[in-house]
Amino acid sequence: MKVNELNKAKIPVVKINKKLEEFKGKILFPNKLALANEMLLRVKLPPLETSK
């Protein structure tokens, strides 16, 4: 495809690198994941507003 054809396309063109499959199901940053999970446990969500 030429650049003009890509710009006019309705569907995005994406090429996925097959080497990324080796990371599927692995936790890459366990320390950051633990910290994020801990923060999510302590966070308080705002109260839900009811529409009248």
Tokens of 47: 């109260």
Instruction: Report the first-to-last Cα separation within the chain, whole angstroms.
Output: 53
Of 29 and 45, more confident? 29
Q: Mean pLDDT in the chain?
A: 87
- 21/37 Cα distance (integer angstroms): 25
Report residue 36 as tokens.
């994020």
pTM of the model: 0.48
d(CA 37, CA 43): 10
Give, as one character, the DSSP assignment of residue 7: H
Q: Is the pLDDT of residue 38 over 90?
A: yes
* Ramachandran category for residue 29: left, alpha or beta (phi over 0 → left; psi -120 to 50 → alpha): beta
